[in-house]
Structure 1
Amino acid sequence: MRLSPTSSLSALAAALALSACATAGPPGTPPAPAVAPGQENRYSATPGPVAGAVSAEELVSRVDIPFEKFVLPNGLTTIVHTDRKAPIVAVTLYYKVGSKNEPRGHTGFAHLYEHLFFGGSANVPSFDIPLEGAGSTPTNGSTWYDRTNYVETVPTGALDLALFMESDRMGALLPAVSQDKLDKQRGVVQNEKRQGDNQPYGLAEYAVADGLFPVGHPYRHSTIGSMADLDAATLTDVRKWFTEHYGPNNVVLVLSGDIDAATAKPKVEKWFGQIPKGPDVAPVQAGPVTLPAPISRDMTDQVPVLRLTRQWSGPGLNDGDAPALRVGMHILGGLASSQLDNALVRGSQQAVSVSASAQVYQQVSVLEASMDVKPGVERAAAEAALDKVITDFVARGPSEDEVRRAVVSTLSAEIGGLEQVGGFSGKGATLAEGQVYSGDPAKYKADLQAIAALTPQNVHEALRKWLSRPVYKLAIVPGARTENGNVMGGWGDEKETAAPPADAKTKTAKLAPAPKRTSPPVAPVGELAFPAIERTTLSNGIPVVLARRTAVPKLVVSIDFDAGFAADALDTPGTQGLMLDMLEEGTKTRNATQIAEEQERLGASIGTTASLDTSSVMLSALSANLAPSLALTADLLLHPAFAQADFDRTRGQAQAQLSQAESTPSALAARTLSSELYGSHPYAQPGDGLGTRISLAALTPSALRAAHAKWLRPDLARITVVGDVTMAELKPLLEKALGGWKAPAAAKPVKVLDAQTPAPASRIVLIDRPNSPQSVIYAGRVLPLTGRTPGEEPLMLANDVVGNGFLSRLNADIREDKGWSYGVRTGVTQSIGPRALQIMAPVQADRTGDSISAIIKDMTAFPAKQPVSAEEYQRVTEGAIRALPTQFETNSAVLSAIVKNDRLGRPEDYYVRLAATYRAIDARRIGAAAGQYLQPADLTWVIVGDRKIVEPQLKGLSLPVEVREAPTAIGDEGEQQ
């Protein structure tokens, strides 16, 4: 697929994502003791509802996506939802074919065909060029077990263009699918597989499917398939696959946004009505599998810590137990106050992170719990502790309070997901999946009502039924990788020898030409209507910005401080990140468990984040619960405890995260590049904020208290709010929560962002990571610009041409033409101080040197040998202008834009004026910016890959090469048994 072979099953499942976060409890909090069935929460009696908080039933009543549906004579089902908040329409198509439909020897076909779908049809040489030129964002697709989908959100005036193009590839694709296109997309897909396999724990997905399902089960082989089957795919195979599965009667089309059924129906009939019906697709027979006995498997891999997992297959999404299992697994390891967190992270401290989830598909689900074991903890003790938590939970079930918190937090997340009309998780996808999987576009509503009605008994019965069966245990053990992803992911009974590759000389029958059709014009697009901005100041001087939006009854708040990871240049590397993490680990009146539980009852989410320049405390809240949500946020911000026990636990988690980053090729490359580019400048701090092993070990609670007092102070703060609240309502609540906060007497700290950076120099740093099927290439150079240098727009447009986006020159060359990578991109950092050009390219290992040569050649040619073309100029200017209305659908997107404008000193109407700014920039100015800033001379290159494969390829580049060893993983140091 264009994004990842592991995109989520459904929009609703995305909103119900059951991922755990490891947080710490109060000093001396004991592990949760076992209690008899029927007893209450381990920490306290079941609390009553928070004052003023909305009920689960009320939340469900606020989730509504009205629609109309019609079916064409050829079987195409169309669903229309009207949402006039912006002049945009989301076009969402779901083909009822996924990897579960693939027979033996053809694994990966659905996904491979999804890639081919973007390669042009009989009347459309490229889908991306006209759609992006018309302002579509996103233009993408994905494949999973049960379906293949395609999404684009376009200006209303480009709807006919989008429908024309989708209908042409549905009805006239095959004549345009050539052997050359098949070979190129085969290469792209195989590099997508290599990219996933190259990650720590990247082979675990294959092992889980192998363990849970027998050979031939439709959900056993991976969506991306096996290398052997991809190699063996022929043009005849591909044509047959399309003919059998891609007829209009196997498709659901959803139009959502600035459209109504009366307008939509004649358009759909015009563009799709003449496509003949395809053959009926036989239903796939699949279901959960009960193992005859428990199974255990160890997999040794280049991972930072031992990961223990427990899996069961479960029922599909239409089963009555599905809602209870989602919530039950959320309570086990998804809530911040989950059973696994309380017992293993905060309690016994045997884990650095835990999780549990129900990954629900149409016909089966995978129920999983996992534990990343703290270094130094004996494996046998960790195994016993994990199994005990699960066994005890299944035996006694959840409390009423746990169910209520899980339900409210789940429903709050669903409301937030409905801000978008399209994309992979918006209203269009929600309606489409209801129709595809359940025959009912409103299935989401029934699911939410079922979740809201859950009782502890419902959840307990489902858990006992499904988790009492034999378990599959997978352990990923630190060490040298011993298994090969190239021979994994297939049907399961193949020999470990590659199938013969497809014969490019094989003759295929010529197809009759498709009827000629003409692309419709795009109607003019109106100017961007950015939300009105209101400003005020609290009594203690903190500036407040509000953009009111009422599409959903939620809001987002960002409290930003002039600090960021660059502040660590005045402290110790890793200080800012660890100090921010500690804000949720306990205050003077609440422990971490109480903090997590209170957020869950409120349907709120409080978190911290940072960039090089800014440290932030973020709040997402239901409008009805804003007052208590702000009060809780203020307590975390103003009164952190920094208790020793919490510090020890949180630092251990940060050390594990650092080891994970050092084990992940892209993260290691990014960390290395920043230090190489910036030297002793504050921006040399790792962009992940984790510091170094030495610096983390040196930190203390007193150092974090000092950093908190030094940097999180009202005279360095700014508050931005976007969502369903008025200024008259907001300001008194902010005054009550934060107005009494006074700045300390000490002078404000100052980061020296005008410090010198090292002179750019062309060189290569090769970090040896054996057994890597891909090399991750990062390159960069500090530019003679700062984030507040005016007139950046020509450079941004030049970057769009060369490397930012699917249609950029580098991606078109190295991914689409050569098939050496899943994606190449460039970017220019948006920091306040000195900015940098960055290039990121994961490529197949045997093409590392060739890829660097291609990057240098492509960048050198722009603009000297290959100036901006008319097509490129239209796409990056007028296409970007038309796309502006789709970029600010969500409260979070608006908030990010406002914060960025304020940080970089831009006028608040920057985005409103951006269309006129772009139209005033001609192709010559774009080329001049490329010539001045985007040339490959003096780039520092960092490569993380297998030295024995990569180093010989670098000899022809005439660049000095320094070879380094990759950091040793904690598990390789003998600290973990």
Structure 2
Amino acid sequence: MIKLFFALCLTAMMLAGCSSDKQVGDSAKLALPDGITLVEIRNDQGSDKVAIAYSKYKLDNGLTVILHEDNSDPLVHVDVTYHVGSAREELGKSGFAHFFEHMMFQGSKHVADEEHFKIITEAGGDMNGTTNSDRTNYYQTVPANQLEKVLWLEADRMGFLLDAVTQEKFENQRETVKNERGENYENQPYGLRTERVAEALYPEGHPYSWSTIGYIDDLNRVSVNDLKAFFQRWYGPNNAVITIGGDIDVLETLSWVKKYFAPIPAGPEVESMQKMPVSLDADRYITLEDQVHLPLIQLTFPTVYVNHPDEAPLDVLSDILGGGKTSLFYKNLVKDNFAIQAFVSHPCRELACQFDMVALANPEKSTDLKQLQQLIEVTLTEFESRGVNEDDLARTKASIRSMTILGLQSVAGKVTTLAMNQLFSGQPDQVQYDLDRYNAVTAKDVMRVYRKYIKDKEKVILSIVPDSLTQLAANQANFALPERSFTASSVSETVETTPIQDVFDRSVMPVAGPNPAVQVPQFTRKKFDNGITMLAHGNSETPTVTILLNLEGGPLLDSIDKAGLASFTASMMNESTQLMSNEEMANQLALLGSQIQFSAGGRYTQIRVNSLVENLDETLALLKMKLFHPAFLEEDFQRIKQNLIQQLLQRKNNPAVLASRVVDNLLYGSHNVVSLPSSGTVETVSAIELDDIKMFYQRFYTPSKANLVIVGDINEKSIAKKLGFLTQWPAKDYTIPAYAEFPVYSKSKIYLVNKPDASQSVVRIIEKSLPYDATGEHFKSQLMNFPLGGMFNSRINLNLREDKGYTYGASSQFIGGKTLGRFQAGADLKQQNTADGIKEILNEIKTYQRSGMTEAELSSMRSAYTQSEALNYETPYNKASFLNHLLTFDLAKEYRQEQTKIINSITREELNTLAAKLLDTNDMQIVVVGDAQKVKGQLDSLGMEIVILESEDF
């Protein structure tokens, strides 16, 4: 690794030589607050390097502070990262780091329970936390005037969390984590894949041998004192990095950091963990029976660790073998119809990495995972024989460069990059270093790591098969986990908090400064003779261009017996052209670092283009070829059709997908195409022929109802010339069919979709409502719903998640499209509390309908909606989405100003009248996807008619 000894640059004179940017240099020369030491300042901007400017500081208590100035938008992103993840846990206490992530949102000494979410929401910000094996982070993006408030909040939970931890909060969050495991792991097809592989790959006791979410037995075992001891061991400032980016004043920010964080004493010393790559002495076959339709095989090889010299060549190897349509896995497994999906990846972590080869079997060809493993091995032999060619390296390196630049479009992306690099290497900006190490990879390097880590090496082979079909496994299981037998230590004594001496009153929340001025993106508008309306916005923050082309109609143009045709046609547009094969096109795009993607969903067929400015002309030439010269080959058609059908069959195992299918059917009726998924059903896709694809393309790929949005480093006046092939595209008009009548219900019923052995119950409570409008009743209904179910601290979520522990999350929303709308509330509930959860949601809706929101809730809503404007236009995609929204709903660019006037002037009485009108539970239908044998008895207690449906019917 290249070492940068900027820590030596500690005097003002030396600093001037260490920085190439006058503004940053001058800021750094000013007197720093006592107790804060400048470590380094770095700015390679203006050079030919891809870099993130930053200044790095250290507090006397060990806290590392990294600042990045970006004044392009009036917002800031704050990330506090602790060098603790599941790898720091003790055997028998798995899931603790993730558990603690939840506890950090439950209030601290000077911040009341649930107040953290409320404060950030009312500040117009976004927030969350994440945990993995190596670190835990907490982050907020807020308007720039809210920065001090965020620092006060983060410091309070760093220094004063234990003062607020109670047995009740501990028990509540333990249930929430269990619900999260049930929702995201146990009730999801293939949800336990990574956990099973880790158990077999790593020896017992290895920090990566258990998943971050942890085991239920371990969660049940620990006590509140165990949790407090874990906090005191790992959550000190000396084990943390706080990274702040955006529209900041460096010295003011440092003064706030000192005020709120400097008094917090350092925790116990934290030593770096030893690297722990593993090796196997034989192939380990394991089998997992799951509620899946498609068998899956995964081969996992142990490799190195993050930043090891062989990491980059292994990443390049994974891309060559299984990184999309240019890869050997695609050619041999997907294109030859043996697999629905096949990919290779090399996920790397701090202590160890692994090399994964995954294939999802195509039952049309074979469900025998042994055959699929043999095909993978044949593919490896082919790779070894043909070696690495020039394009392999060029496209991989171009893609890495493009993804790197795209990742720096947001302040959050830059801040996250700085934080992670600091944590794992001690050097915040490693962007150019990473690009250089990938650019230095040679064909010889790739072949060397292939022979060293993959060729004939021992591995874990996981087979995931449908329940009771173990004969489909790649081989008989020869590895079983040893029984978990250990003595987990327990903290019995009360854990006391460390006293902190302050010279100010921490109980007083900082007052935000004046609201920042937010500028709506300026754009040029032009209507072309062929029907295309174009909005273009020039922005030079990153050397990229984003293009969105929307053709109105999309799936609404499908006939009901061939639903999915628009989506199928879009998939075919992603395939071969008359001038280039699928693989040649994918190769050319990869060499440019560009993406062109056709898709169809909702009301539109959309073509999305992302390109670096330097490659825009070449990318547009490929777009022209794909748009006007599709090949529509029979072999592509048959492969995609088989894949689509198998994917649709697989989706029947996903409870959330089943719930969505039933909801649409109830709202719109089986006689309307809008009641069917945009991708169609098994029956409708089976009925589609290649001639149908060609017909759809000829009739509906036309600019007569098209909208075009361009955002990026462009000249707004000249971009139309580059897009002349679109603006001169001949138009053919067409009509979007009207809907047939929708169902009408006289009373509420429960529609129970039987999903045997489901571990949770997916619940949706629905009724038809208003289509989208920008300033009318639909917009006001969203304001009205905000306290009920539209934010984390909503009544529904606080009741079901925080108070009752029935779910990982519950919400309600008014969803409005151009012509249709609905109200929907719901949650994924604990099986044993299915009826209880439904009852609580209905009670919350009924209470809200009768009594409406409070003055405090009205004030909270107003603050949240008006403050959040600063976050709306940051990235090119944010700006493109805004412009696309204007075109979709034919809005004036001032509509946001009109919304703000409504938010500030609407009365509580008006919103409560709307609640009384739109929230009648007697008109709502209830959908439950769960194990009927286990939940029907509960549902009977609700006193409603129950209609039992089978999952196979959807």
Q: Report the alpha carbon displacement of residue 681 of structure 1 after superposing the two structures with TM.
A: 6.3
Question: Match of 2:346, SS?
Answer: strand
CA shift in 2, pair 1:640/1:363, >3 Å: same
Once the two structures are superposed, the pairs formed by residues 874-913 of structure 1 within 5 Å of their partners are: 874-913=859-898
Please, which of 770, 776, 799 is the counterpart of residue 813 of structure 1?
Answer: 799
Once the two structures are superposed, the pairs formed by residues 107-506 of structure 1 within 5 Å of their partners are: 107-125=94-112, 126-137=115-126, 139-196=127-184, 197-346=186-335, 348-378=336-366, 379=368, 380-394=370-384, 396-422=386-412, 426-468=413-455, 469-479=457-467, 495=484
Q: Does 1:669 align with 2:659?
A: yes
**Whole-angstrom CA distance in 1 between matches of 2:438 and 2:663:** 47
CA shift in 2, pair 1:939/1:390, >3 Å: farther
Question: Match of 1:800, SS?
Answer: helix
**Whole-angstrom CA distance in 1 between matches of 2:797 and 2:143:** 25
Q: Report the alpha carbon displacement of residue 739 of structure 1 after superposing the two structures with TM.
A: 3.5
Q: Report the alpha carbon displacement of residue 395 of structure 1 after superposing the two structures with TM.
A: 5.4
**Whole-angstrom CA distance in 1 between matches of 2:499 and 2:263:** 16
2:949 counterpart residue number = 964
Query: Given residue 227 of structure 2, which amino acid in structure 1 is its aligned partner?
Result: V
- CA contact 2:561–2:687 (8 Å) conserved in 1: no
Deviations 1:155-190 (A, max 9, x none): 111111000110010001101000000011001100
Query: Given residue 864 of structure 1, which amino acid in structure 2 is its aligned partner?
Result: R
- CA contact 1:682–1:752 (8 Å) conserved in 2: no
- CA contact 2:771–2:817 (8 Å) conserved in 1: no
Question: Match of 1:319, SS?
Answer: coil
CA shift in 2, pair 1:920/1:390, >3 Å: farther
**Whole-angstrom CA distance in 1 between matches of 2:924 and 2:715:** 49
Deviations 1:9-44 (A, max 9, x none): xxxxxxxxxxxxxxxxxxxxxxxxxxxxxxxxxxxx
Question: Match of 1:823, SS?
Answer: strand
Q: Report the alpha carbon displacement of residue 338 of structure 1 after superposing the two structures with TM.
A: 1.4
2:838 counterpart residue number = 852
- CA contact 2:45–2:52 (8 Å) conserved in 1: no
CA shift in 2, pair 1:685/1:601, >3 Å: farther
2:584 counterpart residue number = 594
Please, which of 616, 625, 633 is the counterpart of residue 623 of structure 2?
Answer: 633
**Whole-angstrom CA distance in 1 between matches of 2:775 and 2:55:** 50
1:554 counterpart residue number = 544
When the two chains are superposed, the root-mean-square deviation of aligned CA atoms in Å is: 2.5
Q: Report the alpha carbon displacement of residue 760 of structure 1 after superposing the two structures with TM.
A: 6.4
Q: Report the alpha carbon displacement of residue 394 of structure 1 after superposing the two structures with TM.
A: 4.6
Q: Report the alpha carbon displacement of residue 671 of structure 1 after superposing the two structures with TM.
A: 1.5
Question: Match of 2:320, SS?
Answer: helix
**Whole-angstrom CA distance in 2 between matches of 1:708 and 1:789:** 36
Q: Report the alpha carbon displacement of residue 651 of structure 1 after superposing the two structures with TM.
A: 0.8
Query: Given residue 835 of structure 1, which amino acid in structure 2 is its aligned partner?
Result: G
- Scaled by the length of structure 2, what TM-score is found? 0.90
Q: Report the alpha carbon displacement of residue 445 of structure 1 after superposing the two structures with TM.
A: 2.5
Deviations 1:640-691 (A, max 9, x none): 222211100011111122122211111111112101110156463334x221
Please, which of 59, 68, 80 is the counterpart of residue 81 of structure 1?
Answer: 68
CA shift in 2, pair 1:909/1:324, >3 Å: farther
Query: Given residue 319 of structure 1, which amino acid in structure 2 is its aligned partner?
Result: H
Q: Report the alpha carbon displacement of residue 758 of structure 1 after superposing the two structures with TM.
A: 3.4
Deviations 1:110-161 (A, max 9, x none): 1101100000000011211112111222x11010000000000111111110
CA shift in 2, pair 1:571/1:637, >3 Å: farther
- CA contact 1:228–1:498 (8 Å) conserved in 2: no
CA shift in 2, pair 1:340/1:694, >3 Å: same
Question: Match of 2:822, SS?
Answer: strand
Query: Given residue 625 of structure 2, which amino acid in structure 1 is its aligned partner?
Result: D
- CA contact 1:720–1:899 (8 Å) conserved in 2: yes
Please, which of 483, 488, 513 is the counterpart of residue 523 of structure 1?
Answer: 513
2:675 counterpart residue number = 685
Once the two structures are superposed, the pairs formed by residues 33-72 of structure 1 within 5 Å of their partners are: 61=48, 63-72=50-59
Query: Given residue 831 of structure 2, which amino acid in structure 1 is its aligned partner?
Result: A
- CA contact 1:301–1:481 (8 Å) conserved in 2: no
**Whole-angstrom CA distance in 1 between matches of 2:608 and 2:713:** 16
Please, which of 779, 790, 806 is the counterpart of residue 804 of structure 1?
Answer: 790
Q: Report the alpha carbon displacement of residue 923 of structure 1 after superposing the two structures with TM.
A: 2.2
Q: Does 1:92 align with 2:113?
A: no
- CA contact 2:316–2:393 (8 Å) conserved in 1: yes
Please, which of 621, 645, 655 is the counterpart of residue 645 of structure 2?
Answer: 655
- CA contact 1:607–1:617 (8 Å) conserved in 2: yes
**Whole-angstrom CA distance in 1 between matches of 2:70 and 2:826:** 38
Deviations 1:361-388 (A, max 9, x none): 1121121011111113331332211221
Question: Match of 1:532, SS?
Answer: coil
Please, which of 521, 527, 531 is the counterpart of residue 537 of structure 1?
Answer: 527
Question: Match of 1:637, SS?
Answer: helix
**Whole-angstrom CA distance in 2 between matches of 1:899 and 1:623:** 21
Deviations 1:467-488 (A, max 9, x none): 1321211111122599xxxxxx
Deviations 1:498-544 (A, max 9, x none): 999x99xx994676887751211111213421110211234533221
Question: Match of 1:215, SS?
Answer: coil
CA shift in 2, pair 1:935/1:403, >3 Å: farther
Structure 2 residue runs without a partner (length 5+)? 1-43, 471-479
CA shift in 2, pair 1:84/1:763, >3 Å: same
- CA contact 2:771–2:816 (8 Å) conserved in 1: no
Which of 62-71 and 172-181 deviates more? 62-71
1:32 counterpart residue number = none
**Whole-angstrom CA distance in 1 between matches of 2:482 and 2:838:** 39
Question: Match of 2:809, SS?
Answer: coil
2:938 counterpart residue number = 953
Question: Match of 1:728, SS?
Answer: coil
1:793 counterpart residue number = 779
Which of 523-532 and 215-224 deviates more? 523-532
Question: Match of 2:857, SS?
Answer: helix
**Whole-angstrom CA distance in 2 between matches of 1:681 and 1:917:** 39
**Whole-angstrom CA distance in 1 between matches of 2:434 and 2:47:** 10
Question: Match of 1:544, SS?
Answer: strand
More relative contact order, 1 or 2 (CA 8 Å, 6+ apart): 1
**Whole-angstrom CA distance in 2 between matches of 1:836 and 1:410:** 42
Q: Report the alpha carbon displacement of residue 965 of structure 1 after superposing the two structures with TM.
A: 2.0
1:52 counterpart residue number = none
Q: Report the identity percentage.
A: 30
**Whole-angstrom CA distance in 2 between matches of 1:892 and 1:62:** 24
CA shift in 2, pair 1:712/1:340, >3 Å: same
CA shift in 2, pair 1:717/1:574, >3 Å: same
Query: Given residue 803 of structure 2, which amino acid in structure 1 is its aligned partner?
Result: D
Question: Match of 1:651, SS?
Answer: helix
CA shift in 2, pair 1:803/1:685, >3 Å: same
CA shift in 2, pair 1:754/1:675, >3 Å: closer
Which of 80-89 and 932-941 deviates more? 932-941
- CA contact 2:832–2:935 (8 Å) conserved in 1: yes
Question: Match of 2:94, SS?
Answer: coil
Query: Given residue 74 of structure 1, which amino acid in structure 2 is its aligned partner?
Result: N
